[in-house]
């Protein structure tokens, strides 16, 4: 038998080894395994239905996050969505001709039309209006004079008529009356007439009758009232107006007929007993139905001409009233939804017969959604030709529900579009014999799953079968368990929303584990609106010693003002149950999380109030005993952007009051920037929990540079007054940016650099001994990113080997800010392609892995830029030693690698924040990005050097090993035969 050629054997081995090569890209079937993306719209403030006879029914909504979206009425899914920039706030939305979505934005100066089926913009028209006034949008429902529906826009003294087909201005009218402000546009039953209602002064009502086709003033009537009118609460319908007086204690019932205006004032106290609280005029519907809210009680009133009002019904429980919905040519319906115990009651009435009810249904909803704030009613025709009704409910937690036939059809957690802060919590430890994965299958499902996987491996699976395989992989994946894993990838992302709701998301697939709308952060009956500020880890017990669940701390204010008393709430991280809540006696200006813990594993927090006092939490003797020895090493600083000053403080032992957990502060230093040349733009400092692996950096020539690792280092950037505006608002000679590195203990300026011709906005991040900041260069007409690294020169003597041998070094000497530090600073600037929304830096467990900058671009994507690209030591021609160190040759611009986008091809609309969370695996960090959308993924800045990737093919590795063993056996047999033949010769 002839032996196989040796080169064929080597080729076979090389081929088998190449099959086990690791992949660097993300394949199509891996999307959704290590990352997830969720799309939201925010709290709905206006909704318009479009229920066409053919096709899918939809509702178009406008939200407080400046989002316009079209939703599927059957499922709540997004057909299309546009997130408009915050500097162009959308005020109103309407439908025209059944196929255009018309929006009014920027205070009435921009009118747009969008195609209803696909959301493409059809046209845009700019209007000349007074932006300081309230703008109104009115679409004629039936216009027989013009060939198309006219869209009317009013603001200040202007009123425009615009064609909804092409956006051409048909006419524009500026009223000559001084101080006039249009408050309402009312459509007359005669289709060629519209009424414009305005106020001149606070007590003069002006009524203009206009020709809808030409804008010609047909009639002008003016009427003076004995008392002032609250201009924001004028509601009009056909030939009637209802307005609140300035004291909000009386209603003006106004009727305009022919040549005159007649009115009557009605005192609300005559209709409502025990009048107290805020009065709000909700609706004025056809047939003279008025909805009025006093505190949390809603009253339905019937207008009896101009003679007065009749109280029809009141709703004591929190309730909301919808707009009137035309169901026939002569009748309209409206809905009232109120809370009744643990349910909500959905009532529909007709404006022609308010005493009777068309529908009354009770619906069960989640109690953690709070009260109903808005109702949008819609009707449909049943099979028996009768009218059925559905409604969109906007809840207090900003969620959106569709109710129909006594049940919730679907819901959307759109409060997640307004996240204000994020923290994390570890999952519980898996106990022996207890399965919490909930992924068990019966025998048939097990066999079916393996058959599908086999078909997928042999590439015989159809598209539906591939989708089923993907769903099975996601369901059975280890990442979805409710226990912690050895790599630390499975965690709870706990987020705090603007509505005061705390939601826990699983990092595996982004599903909601629990949610809690905090009672302390809900609006009170007096109208007080608390605000949520931030949340922190409160108790993180060691699972081997303590059996308590971890908990989180939520900090808020009882009002919008910074001087309002603070609110604290502690929640269980695993269940979301509120453990305790506290209304503070002091305000909350700044929260300082300390690195200290008491014996119960509570993390200590300092809360700074408006009187420059600091309060220690938790309020316990144990926490006090831990904090007092470290009090002398604790320093605070405040940045007052209005007064343009930074102040530094130390803590004293007691306050003037009798609170033993209160510490007064002593001002140590202050830096006042001259307001005529510099304005504070941004201030940043290191994260208190940042881990630094090495205190020194070894450079190419084997020299050692010691990092300046003070946690009291502050980065402050100031701009010239003219450069503080939008890009282009200042000439290069009038713009400059000054960057400071300041010691928070002494107020000493360690470094100062000026960038001439630079303009904001400025974004920065501080990590270890360096800071990276981003701004716009007016001279080069490009964005720039600059880096500053600071090193401690006082330890330079440690490089003397003899001193180290003799023990004459200062490695263990205490570092103090009171001695003038000997520092060395290196800096460099680079051109950058994009405008930036936010910058963060990756965090790992031990700080060994290379740092990457996480840059939120203007395109709402996250770019991972290696810190080596912004190394100030980069040179045009680096030496061989510098190349070995990893120094990249200097270029004037930072190169962007398309595969460096953490978000891949996805966008996180209205991106606001990026959070990097260390895992137990040193090579990997968890990235959570939030805005209107949410995105989560895992990132390995230095690749997975401490583990095999999920894409590693163990099967191919096994095949390679078997092939090697077979080759060894074959070679051994061939060698034995050859040796035997040689011996017989």
Q: How far is CA 932 from the centre of its chain?
A: 5
How much of the chain is in helix, strand and coil states, percent to nearest 5? 15, 45, 40
Residue 206 has pLDDT above 70, yes or no: yes
Angle at 521 between CA 518 and CA 526, to 5 degrees: 130
Least confident range of 242-256, 261-275, 483-497:
261-275
How many angstroms separate the CA atoms of 536 and 176, rounded?
Answer: 57
For residue 1, the model assigns a pLDDT of: 42
Look at 346 and 283; give whichever has higher pLDDT.
346
Mean pLDDT for all residues in the chain = 83
Q: From start to end of 24-120, where are the E strands? A: 36-38, 44-50, 58-63, 67-72, 78-83, 90-96, 100-105, 110-115
pLDDT at 135: 85
Task: Please state, for a pLDDT cut of 70, what percent of the chain lies above it.
Answer: 85
In the predicted model, what is the mean pLDDT of residues 458-487? 73
Comparing C-alpha atoms, which of 498, 490, 522 is closest to residue 416?
498
Q: What is the pLDDT of residue 157?
A: 85
pLDDT band at 32 (very low <50, low <70, confident <90, very high): low
Burial 898-920 (b: 16+ CB within 10 A, else e): eeebbbeebbbbbbbbbbbbbbe
Q: Where are the domains of the chain?
A: 94-224, 231-317
Name the burial class of residue 440, with classes exposed (0-12), middle (13-18) and buried (19+) by CB atoms within 10 angstroms of its CB: exposed
Q: Cβ distance 218 to 195 under 8 Å?
A: no
Q: Which stretches of 823-947 are assigned E, i.e. beta strand? A: 823-832, 836-841, 852-857, 862-866, 913-918, 925-930, 934-939
Q: What pLDDT is recorded for position 469?
A: 72
Among the ranges given (151-155, 432-436, 576-580, 743-747), the one the predictor scored with the smallest mean pLDDT: 432-436
Instruction: Report pLDDT for 101.
Output: 93
pLDDT of residue 450: 66
Whether the pLDDT of residue 190 is over 70: the answer is: no
If one compares 824 and 477, the residue with the highest pLDDT of the two is: 824
More confident residue, 139 or 717: 717
Inform me whether the pLDDT recorded for 418 exceeds 70: yes
pLDDT reported for residue 912? 93
Which of 21-25, 736-740, 933-937 has the weakest average pLDDT? 21-25
pLDDT of residue 444: 61
Q: What is the pLDDT of residue 439?
A: 34
Q: Is the pLDDT of residue 811 over 60?
A: no
Give the per-residue pLDDT at 672: 94
* Burial call 471-483: b when 16+ CB within 10 Å, e when fewer: ebbeeebebbbbb
Q: What is the pLDDT of residues 255-272, one digit of tens each?
A: 777 677 778 888 877 777
What number of helices (H) and strands (E) belong to the chain?
A: 7, 64
Mean pLDDT for 518-535 is 81
Model confidence band, residue 237 (pLDDT cutoffs 50, 70, 90): low
pLDDT at residue 478, as a whole number:
67
Please state which CATH number belongs to domain 94-224: 2.40.128.630
pLDDT average, residue stretch 771-795: 91
Is pLDDT above 50 for 146?
Answer: no
Residues contacting residue 614 through CB under 8 Å, at least 6 positions apart: 592, 606, 607, 608, 636, 651, 662, 663, 664, 665
Is residue 710's pLDDT more than 70? yes
Q: Which is higher by pLDDT, 680 or 484?
A: 680
User: What value does the mean pLDDT take over residues 310-318?
Assistant: 81
In this model, does residue 430 exceed pLDDT 60? Answer: yes
DSSP code at position 452 = H
pLDDT of residue 441: 43
What pLDDT, on the 0 to 100 scale, is given for residue 915?
Answer: 95
Sheet holding 862-866, edge to edge: 836-841, 852-857, 862-866
Least confident of 173-177, 535-539, 810-814: 810-814
pLDDT for 634: 87
pLDDT above 70: residue 329: yes
**Model pTM?**
0.86
Lowest mean pLDDT among 243-247, 525-529, 645-649: 525-529
Residue 632 pLDDT greater than 80, yes or no: yes
Confidence of residue 800 (pLDDT cuts 50, 70, 90): low
Helix axes 463-476, 443-457, angle to 10 degrees: 120
Q: pLDDT band for position 367 (50/70/90)?
A: confident
Nearest to 517 by CA among 317, 370, 400, 338: 370
Least confident among 49-63, 440-454, 820-834: 440-454
pLDDT tens profile 286-309? 777 888 887 778 888 887 766 677
pLDDT of residue 910: 92
Residues pairing with 270 in the sheet: none
């Amino acid at each position: 038998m002839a032996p196989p050629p040796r080169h064929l054997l080597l080729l076979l081995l090389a081929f088998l080894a190449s099959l086990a090569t690791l992949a660097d890209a993300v394949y199509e079937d891996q999307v959704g395994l290590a990352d997830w993306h969720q799309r939201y719209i925010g709290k709905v403030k206006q909704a318009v239905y479009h229920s066409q006879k053919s096709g899918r029914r939809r509702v178009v909504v406008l939200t407080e996050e400046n989002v316009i979206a079209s939703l599927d009425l059957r499922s709540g899914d997004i057909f299309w969505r546009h997130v408009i920039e915050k500097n162009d706030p959308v005020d109103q939305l309407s439908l025209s001709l059944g196929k255009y979505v018309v929006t009014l934005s920027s205070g009435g100066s921009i009118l747009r039309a969008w195609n209803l089926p696909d959301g493409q913009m059809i046209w845009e028209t700019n209007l000349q209006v007074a932006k300081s006034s309230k703008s109104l949008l009115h679409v004629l429902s039936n216009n027989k004079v013009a060939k198309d529906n006219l869209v009317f826009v009013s603001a200040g003294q202007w009123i425009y008529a615009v064609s909804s087909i092409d956006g051409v201005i048909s006419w524009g009218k500026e009223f000559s009356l001084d101080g006039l402000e249009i408050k309402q546009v009312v459509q007359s039953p005669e289709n060629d007439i519209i009424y414009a209602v305005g106020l001149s002064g606070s007590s003069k009502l002006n009524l203009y009758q206009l020709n809808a086709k030409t804008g010609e003033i047909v009639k002008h009537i003016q009427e003076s009232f004995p008392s002032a009118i609250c201009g924001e609460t004028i509601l009009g319908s056909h030939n009637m107006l209802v307005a609140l007086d300035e004291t909000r204690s009386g209603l003006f019932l106004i009727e305009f007929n022919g040549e005159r205006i007649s009115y009557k004032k009605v005192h609300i106290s005559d209709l409502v007993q025990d009048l107290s609280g805020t009065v709000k005029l909700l609706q004025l519907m056809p047939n003279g139905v008025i909805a009025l809210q006093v505190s949390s009680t809603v009253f339905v009133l019937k207008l009896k001409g101009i003679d007065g009002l009749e109280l029809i019904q009141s709703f004591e429980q929190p309730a909301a009233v919808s707009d009137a919905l035309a169901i026939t040519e002569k009748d309209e319906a409206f809905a009232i939804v109120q809370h009744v115990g643990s349910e909500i009651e959905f009532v529909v009435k007709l404006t022609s017969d308010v005493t009777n009810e068309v529908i009354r249904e009770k619906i069960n909803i989640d109690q953690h959604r709070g009260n109903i704030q808005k109702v949008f009613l819609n009707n449909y025709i049943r099979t028996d030709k009768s009218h059925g009704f559905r409604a969109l409910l906007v809840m207090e937690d900003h969620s959106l529900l569709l109710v129909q036939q006594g049940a919730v059809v679907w819901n959307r957690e759109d409060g997640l579009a307004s996240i204000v802060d994020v923290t994390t919590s570890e999952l519980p430890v898996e106990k022996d014999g207890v399965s919490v994965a909930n992924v068990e299958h019966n025998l048939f499902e097990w066999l079916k799953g393996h058959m599908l996987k086999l078909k997928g491996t042999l590439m015989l699976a159809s598209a539906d079968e591939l989708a089923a395989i993907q769903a099975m992989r996601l369901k059975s994946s280890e990442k979805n368990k409710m226990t912690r894993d050895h790599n630390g990838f499975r965690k709870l992302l706990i987020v705090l929303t603007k509505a005061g709701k705390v939601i826990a998301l699983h990092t595996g697939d982004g599903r909601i584990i629990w949610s809690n709308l905090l009672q302390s952060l809900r609006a009170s009956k007096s109208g007080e609106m608390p605000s949520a500020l931030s949340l922190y880890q409160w108790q993180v017990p060691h699972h081997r010693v303590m059996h308590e669940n971890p908990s989180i701390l939520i900090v808020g204010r009882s009002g919008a003002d910074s001087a309002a008393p603070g609110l604290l709430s502690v929640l269980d991280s695993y269940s979301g149950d509120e453990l305790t809540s506290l209304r503070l006696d002091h305000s909350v200006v700044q929260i300082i999380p300390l690195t200290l813990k008491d014996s119960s594993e509570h993390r200590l927090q300092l809360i700074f109030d408006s009187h420059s006092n600091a309060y220690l939490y938790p309020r316990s003797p144990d926490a006090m005993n831990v904090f007092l020895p470290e009090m002398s090493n604790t320093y605070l600083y405040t940045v007052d952007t209005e007064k343009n000053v930074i102040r530094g403080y130390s803590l004293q032992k007691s306050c003037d009051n009798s609170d033993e957990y209160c510490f007064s502060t002593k001002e140590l230093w202050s830096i006042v920037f001259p307001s005529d040349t510099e304005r504070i733009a941004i201030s940043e400092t290191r994260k208190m929990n940042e881990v630094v692996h090495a205190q020194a950096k070894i450079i190419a020539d084997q020299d050692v540079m010691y990092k300046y690792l003070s946690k009291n280092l502050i980065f402050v950037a100031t701009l010239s007054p003219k450069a503080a505006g939008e890009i282009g608002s200042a000439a290069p000679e009038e713009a400059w940016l000054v960057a400071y590195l300041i010691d928070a203990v002494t107020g000493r300026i360690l470094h100062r650099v000026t960038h001439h011709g630079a303009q904001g906005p400025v974004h920065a991040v501080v990590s270890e001994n360096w800071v990276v900041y981003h701004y716009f260069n007016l001279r080069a007409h490009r964005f720039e990113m600059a880096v500053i690294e600071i090193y401690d020169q006082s330890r330079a003597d440690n490089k003397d080997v003899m001193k180290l041998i003799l023990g004459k070094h200062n490695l263990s000497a205490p570092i103090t800010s009171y001695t003038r530090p000997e520092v060395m600073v290196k800096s460099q600037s680079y051109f950058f392609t994009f405008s930036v929304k936010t910058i963060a830096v990756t965090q790992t467990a031990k700080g060994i892995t290379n740092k990457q900058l996480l840059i939120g671009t203007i395109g709402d994507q996250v770019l991972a830029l290696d810190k080596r690209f912004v190394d100030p030591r980069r040179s045009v021609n680096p030496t061989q030693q510098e190349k070995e160190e990893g120094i990249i040759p200097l270029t004037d611009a930072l190169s962007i690698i398309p595969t460096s986008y953490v978000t891949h091809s996805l966008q996180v609309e209205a991106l606001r924040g990026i959070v990097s969370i260390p895992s137990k695996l040193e090579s990997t960090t968890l990235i959570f990005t939030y805005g209107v959308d949410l995105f989560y993924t895992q990132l390995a800045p230095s690749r997975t050097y401490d583990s095999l990737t999920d894409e590693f093919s163990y099967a191919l590795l096994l095949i390679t090993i078997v092939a090697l063993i077979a080759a060894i056996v074959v070679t051994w047999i061939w060698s034995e035969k050859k040796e035997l033949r040689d011996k017989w010769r």
